[in-house]
C-alpha cells in the first residue's frame, strides 16, 4: 500500500478520486490547496502526488511547485477535459503521467503504477543479503541465458534481413519501349505507354502484366489514382477523369487543361500538374473547368513526373536524375532532394514516377529507344 497525496480544488473530485485510490489499495492524503498538500506531504511522506487540472487549479504550476519541494516524487495529473496538447505540456512540465477523463479505476491504476515505477530513485544504505542458490536455479539461469543468446542472434538475423530488404533496389525490363508515366492504385503499379496508347497494370511482386487497357482515341502521357477515380492526361493536354472500372469509363473531360504534361498528382483537395515545357507546377481546383488557382516556378532541369506521398509533393527531374520534394504551401522552393544513382550511367531516361506508400518507383526509356524500358523499385531510404 502506498500513500498518495491528492490535490483537488473541488470537494467532489477529491472524494471521487480518493474513493478510487482507496479501492486500489492506496492511502490517500487529500488537500484542497497547494500549501495544505505541501504541509501534509512533509508530515506523511507520500510516494506520489495526484493533481486535478482545472480552471481553478493550474496543474502545470502546481506540478512545478510540488517538484520543487519534492523533486523525487512522481506527480500524476488528472485532466477534467481531454486535451492531448495540454497533457504533453504537463508532461514537459514534469508530470510523470496524465490521466484522461472520464477517470476510471483501470486508467488511474495504470497511471499511478507507471508513475511509481518510472519516477524517483530508490535509496538504500545497505544492499539485501545474498540469496542461497540451488543447482537447479543455476541450471535454469544457464538455460535462460542460452535461450536469450539464441533469441538475440535470431533477432539480429531478422533485423539484418529487414535492413537488406529495405536497401534493395529492384529493376525489371518491360515489354514496352515508350513509357510516359507511372501511377500506383493501392495494389498495382500502372504504366502509361504513349506509343501503344495503353495502360498496363503491373504486379508489384514480379512485376508481370495483369491488366492492359487501350485508349484508342487518345495518346495518354500520365495518370494519377484517387480513392474513387483515375485522372489521365493525353498528349494534347486534355485531362480526363475516369471511373476505376474495367473500361476506365470517362466521367469528365477538361480540354487543354494540362499542356505539355509531365505528370499529375492529387493531394486530396487540389489537382497538381507539371508542365514540362514551361517548367511550372499548376494547382487546379477540381471544378467544371479545372481552374488554375496558382502557378509555381519549377526549379529543376527536365520535369518527368510528379507524385503526392500523403504529405508533400515529389517531382522527378530527369535532367539531374533526382527527386525534388515540395511543400504544398511553397512548392516553388524544394525542401529536399534525393539523387537517383540508378540513372548515373546515363543510358536511360526516367519518364514516370510513382509512390507505393513506402518506396518510390520510376520507369525509364532507353536513350536509344530501341532497348526495352526499365522499371525500378528504389530503396526505402535512397543513399545520399
Partner 1 sequence: MTHLATTLPALLRFPGGAARQDSWGRLIKVTAGGARLCTGSRLTKGETVLVGFELGGESLLIPGRVHDAFPDDDGQTVAELRWSDMVERKRLARALLDVLARS
Residues forming contacts to partner 1 in the complex (CB under 8 A) are: 82, 84-85, 87-88, 91-92, 98-100, 106-107, 109-111, 113-114, 117-118, 310-312, 325, 335-336, 338, 357-358, 380-382
Q: Residue 44 or 155: which CB sits closer to partner 1? A: 155
Find the shortest distance in angstroms from Cβ 92 to partner 1.
6
Find the shortest distance in angstroms from Cβ 336 to partner 1.
5
3-state secondary structure the chain: CCEEEEECCCHHHHHHHHHHHHHCCCEEEEECCHHHHHHHHHHHCCCEEEEEEECCECHHHHHHHHHHHCCCCCEEEEECCCCHHHHHHHHHHCCCEEECCCCCHHHHHHHHHHHHHHCCCCCCCCCCCCCCCCHHHHHHHHHHHHHHHHHHHHHHHHHHHHHHHHHCCEEEECCCCCEEEEEECCCCEEEEECCCCEEEEECCCCCCEEEEEECCCCCEEEEEECCCEEEEEECCCCEEEEECCCCCCEEEEECCCCCCEEEEEECCCEEEEEECCCCEEEEEECCCCCCEEEEEECCCCCEEEEEECCCCEEEEECCCCEEEEECCCCCCCCCEEEECHHHCCCCEEEEEEEECCCCEEEEEEECCCCCCCEEEECCCCCCC
Find the shortest distance in angstroms from Cβ 325 to partner 1.
6
Q: Residue 56 or 335: which CB sits closer to partner 1? A: 335
- CA separation for the pair 379, 316 (Å, rounded): 16
Find the shortest distance in angstroms from Cβ 153 to partner 1.
19
Q: Are 192 and 180 in contact (CB under 8 A)?
A: yes
**C-alpha grid cell for residue 189?**
503499379
Q: Residue 121 or 249: which CB sits closer to partner 1? A: 121
Find the shortest distance in angstroms from Cβ 137 to partner 1.
23
Q: Residue 220 or 300: which CB sits closer to partner 1? A: 300
Q: Residue 10 or 267: which CB sits closer to partner 1? A: 267
Find the shortest distance in angstroms from Cβ 91 to partner 1.
3
Q: Residue 130 or 310: which CB sits closer to partner 1? A: 310
Q: Residue 148 or 212: which CB sits closer to partner 1? A: 148
Find the shortest distance in angstroms from Cβ 273 to partner 1.
23
Q: Residue 218 or 380: which CB sits closer to partner 1? A: 380
Find the shortest distance in angstroms from Cβ 322 to partner 1.
14
Amino acid at each position: 500500500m502506498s500513500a498518495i497525496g491528492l490535490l483537488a480544488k473541488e470537494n467532489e473530485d477529491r472524494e471521487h478520486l480518493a474513493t478510487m485510490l482507496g479501492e486500489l489499495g492506496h492511502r490517500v492524503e487529500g488537500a484542497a490547496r497547494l500549501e495544505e498538500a505541501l504541509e501534509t506531504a512533509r508530515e506523511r511522506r507520500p510516494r506520489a502526488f495526484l493533481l486535478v487540472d482545472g480552471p481553478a487549479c493550474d496543474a502545470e504550476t502546481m506540478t512545478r511547485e510540488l517538484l520543487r519541494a519534492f523533486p523525487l516524487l512522481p506527480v500524476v495529473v488528472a485532466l477534467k477535459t481531454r486535451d492531448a496538447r495540454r497533457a504533453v505540456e504537463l508532461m514537459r512540465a514534469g508530470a510523470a503521467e496524465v490521466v484522461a477523463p472520464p477517470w476510471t479505476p483501470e486508467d488511474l491504476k495504470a497511471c499511478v503504477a507507471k508513475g511509481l515505477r518510472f519516477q524517483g530513485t530508490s535509496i538504500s544504505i545497505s544492499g539485501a543479503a545474498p540469496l542461497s542458490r540451488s543447482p537447479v536455479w543455476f541450471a535454469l539461469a544457464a538455460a535462460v541465458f542460452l535461450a536469450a543468446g539464441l533469441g538475440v542472434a535470431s533477432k539480429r538475423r531478422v533485423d539484418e534481413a529487414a535492413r537488406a530488404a529495405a536497401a534493395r533496389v529492384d529493376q525489371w525490363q518491360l515489354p514496352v519501349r515508350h513509357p510516359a508515366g507511372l501511377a500506383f492504385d493501392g495494389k498495382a503499379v500502372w504504366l502509361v505507354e504513349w506509343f501503344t496508347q495503353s495502360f498496363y497494370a503491373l504486379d508489384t511482386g514480379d512485376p508481370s502484366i495483369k491488366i492492359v487497357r487501350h485508349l484508342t482515341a487518345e495518346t495518354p502521357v500520365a495518370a494519377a489514382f484517387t480513392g474513387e477515380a483515375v485522372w489521365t492526361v493525353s498528349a494534347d493536354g486534355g485531362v480526363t477523369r475516369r471511373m476505376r472500372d474495367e473500361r476506365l469509363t470517362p466521367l469528365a473531360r477538361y480540354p487543354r487543361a494540362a499542356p505539355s504534361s509531365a505528370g499529375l498528382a492529387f493531394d486530396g483537395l487540389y489537382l497538381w500538374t507539371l508542365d514540362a515545357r514551361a517548367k511550372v507546377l499548376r494547382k487546379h481546383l477540381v471544378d467544371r473547368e479545372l481552374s488554375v488557382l496558382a502557378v509555381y516556378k519549377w526549379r529543376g532541369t527536365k520535369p518527368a513526373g510528379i507524385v503526392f506521398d500523403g504529405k508533400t509533393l515529389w517531382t522527378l527531374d530527369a535532367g539531374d536524375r533526382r527527386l525534388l520534394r515540395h511543400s504544398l504551401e511553397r512548392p516553388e522552393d524544394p525542401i529536399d532532394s534525393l539523387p537517383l544513382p540508378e540513372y548515373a550511367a546515363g543510358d536511360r531516361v526516367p519518364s514516370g514516377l510513382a509512390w507505393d506508400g513506402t518506396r518510390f518507383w520510376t520507369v525509364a526509356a532507353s536513350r536509344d529507344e530501341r532497348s526495352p524500358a526499365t522499371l525500378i523499385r528504389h530503396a526505402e531510404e535512397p543513399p545520399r
